[in-house]
Structure 1
């Protein structure tokens, strides 16, 4: 890890935040965020115990992370509410929210509960060389269920969820291990029942 001038990292963050605002306004994430990654940048996030998303260069980031993954989320907002900069290690952490354009009956936006964020490593030349997102997957799923129940889940998101439910991986998704079989799930359920019955 390389130290960088604080002012340079602060300028990088300002460029990143402006690119995010431009992407939200236009609904085109690849166009505005893609140029802010090095050619060999890596971008990843976890999708539970059995799966990880990984894009290993700027082309994959633009096509998969900012393309396929953002289909159905073009009008969502991801406002940052806190930025932490470590110029000695050349790293940045940004905490953000995930806000849907859809409104509930009370006029409030559907929004993912909990905390979300991105951990970046700076690569010089006002580009990131590494990024890892983190968020509460349980809260994301809960919001998708709520949107679906209210008839407000975007069709593109429905299609992607349908593929995943059938065991089809989206571009960039990698299995960390095989998901548990029905028999393993049943054994786990029965173990939980035994714990509940004998620990009362």
Structure 2
């Protein structure tokens, strides 16, 4: 077990982090986030994304599914957004790279600032060797991001894909909340709880 944990050096994982950072910088210039990510994903990569308190985590298995769904369909509507890095951390024993990032829209306020999701997103990459990741988890301030999307729709800035995303999210959230309420009612009955 120890040999497996110490398989990669700090320097190798840090270099991998620089590769991810450079790939994302290039993607920001071209808008090609999906294509850019292909260079850092292992064929058998598992990608997870926490979607918020009422929705289940999103999981994609394998590079094809990640490219098509997680970075394709799920990224629809965020054309022109920027994701600048903040800090990063390397754990060579576990082979993990962690970094945080902001989510900044292209929608400008009257004071010259841009609409952005409050808080940071965090990405966890488990290194597979050869400059690729075998497991990636993204965790972000989901509600703050959703508020930002809704502001864009309300202000008339959002494109059609973003408007559809917000509409679909509201439908999914309503269904998830209804399921949660039903679950709580079942628990009340099962344990005989009465107010």
Task: Report the TM-score range of the alignment, normalised by the length of the smaller protein.
Answer: 0.7 to 0.9
Other structure's SS at 2:24 match: helix
Moved over 4 A (4+): none
Distance in 2 separating the partners of 1:179 and 1:32: 33
Relative distance call for 1:71 and 1:90 in structure 2 (3 A) is same
> Take 1:166 and 1:138, find their aligned partners in 2: how far apart are those partners?
15
2:23 is equivalent to residue 19 of structure 1: yes
| Structure 2 counterpart of 1:41, from 42, 45, 58 | 45
Q: Compared with structure 1, are the counterparts of its residues 183 and 109 closer, same or farther at alpha carbon in structure 2 (3 Å cutoff)?
A: closer
> Which residue, 56, 63, 68 being the options, matches 2:73?
68
1:184 to 172, 181, 184: 181
Question: Tell me, what secondary structure is at the counterpart of 2:138?
Answer: strand
User: 1:114, 1:65 → 2: CA distance?
Assistant: 21
- Name 1:2's counterpart in structure 2: 5
Counterparts in 2 of 1:37 and 1:146: CA distance versus 1, 3 Å: same
Paired residue secondary structure (1:33)? helix
> Which one of the candidate residues 85, 88, 96 is aligned to 1:83?
88
Check the 8 A contact 2:14/2:97 in 1, yes or no. Answer: no
The total of aligned residue pairs comes to: 178
More helix by percentage: 2
Aligned to 2:34: 30
Structure 2 residues not aligned, in runs of 5+: 186-195
TM-score normalized by the length of structure 2:
0.83
Question: Does residue 105 of structure 2 align to residue 108 of structure 1?
Answer: no
Give the CA deviation at 1:51: 1.9
Gaps of 5+ in 1: 169-177, 189-200
- Match for residue 169 of structure 2? 164
Q: What is the deviation of 1:37?
A: 0.8
